Amino acid sequence: MTEPKAVATVTGIWRRMLRAALLDTTLYEEVEADRGATRQAFLVVVLSAVAAGIGGLEHRGVLAILGYTLAACAGWLIWAYVAYLIGTRLVSHPETRADPGQLARTLAFSSAPGVLRVFALFSPIAGAVFLVSTVWMLVAMVFAVRHALDYPSTWRALAVCAIGFPIYAATLALSMLFLGPWPL
């Protein structure tokens, strides 16, 4: 007996998220090539953002979920665009072949470790939960950039992230000005 399509879809996205969090390079190649994964990729970003909102619930209340979710999604969107520009223009390689969708899908899946931020709600070390998940996401972003932009080494992907990640961090900092700090 086969499982219903909705169950298969949910199971499939969680498997992909786990593979992304475990830095499975074949996953990043897979979602880069799979135009049908765009909705799943967006859902990963939203789930990670909602987890951040829930993680900040104790400190900022119910509106934190909506505020942090919107801020995290906006930050990710800006980050994806900036990473595309940096990766294809500033530090491109002769083998670099990518369109914005390919990079967006891989970067979205690199947000998978962000779902762990939900545990900040129950943790006396909420700041550590946010810090570890953010660093983990950054490492996953390097993997995503390398594979989406077909870089032969990790150094160029590291450069893209080193140049572009502060812009993402600035959007998070701006959200903290309006919403109050995350539980750091």
Q: What's the structural domain count of the chain? A: 1
pLDDT-based confidence at residue 87 (cuts at 50, 70, 90): very high
Which tens digit of pLDDT belongs to each residue from 23-42? 999 999 999 999 999 999 99
Q: Which of 94-103, 110-119, 169-178 has the weakest average pLDDT?
A: 169-178
Residue 76: inside a domain: yes
Residue 159: inside a domain: yes
Domain extent at residue 22: 5-179
Residue 141: inside a domain: yes
The structure's pTM equals: 0.85
Contacts 24+ apart (CB under 8 A), 58-66: 58/121, 58/126, 58/183, 59/126, 59/180, 59/181, 59/182, 59/183, 60/179, 60/180, 63/179, 64/179, 64/180
Residue 13: inside a domain: yes
Nearest to 90 by CA among 156, 137, 31, 139: 156
Contacts of 155 (CB under 8 A, 6+ apart): none
| Better-predicted residue by pLDDT, 61 or 59 | 61
Nearest to 25 by CA among 119, 125, 142: 142
Residue 184: inside a domain: no
